Structure 1
């Protein structure tokens, strides 16, 4: 797994079930500036549906999506 960019905010969402990862991502994105990255580390398999859908609905860019064993890692870049 590649390391997130240095300016990325990383949220450990391990153990949280839907809809908590998306709700916390939404809140965290409010504190970021346009172009900054948010990295989500999740264990809920439903996040592979929820996070891309969230990005499509809000206009944020899903820059990366990766699975390593039972860990799902998403990198979201904030839009304007």
Structure 2
């Protein structure tokens, strides 16, 4: 799926469990420019709902896609403001 997006940065939070994937995603989004896309790689299955909930409740970010792989969950977040 990453071919659909121009990835500005990849955040590897594999091995981290709730709430760290969301905490680190927020920090990484703060460090990219408006319009850029952050790819987040996680191994915690809870990151699917956690990052979705965070993005839905946070102004300035848009969750573009989530991909559930065999061992890795990929999240694509765009900074919108």
With the length of structure 2 as denominator, give the TM-score of the two structures: 0.89
1:24-53 deviation digits (Å, cap 9, x = unpaired): 011111111111011100000110110000
Name the counterpart of 2:65: 64
Contact preservation (8 Å) 1:40, 1:74: yes
* Aligned residues between the structures: 80
Please show how residues 38-77 of structure 1 align to structure 2 within 5 Å. 38-59=38-59, 60-77=61-78
Contact preservation (8 Å) 1:9, 1:39: yes
After superposition, the CA RMSD in angstroms is: 1.5
Unaligned runs of 5+ in 2: none
Runs of 4+ with deviation above 3 angstroms: 1-7
Q: 1:7 offset after TM fit, Å?
A: 4.3
Cα distance in 2 between the residues matched to 1:17 and 1:66: 18
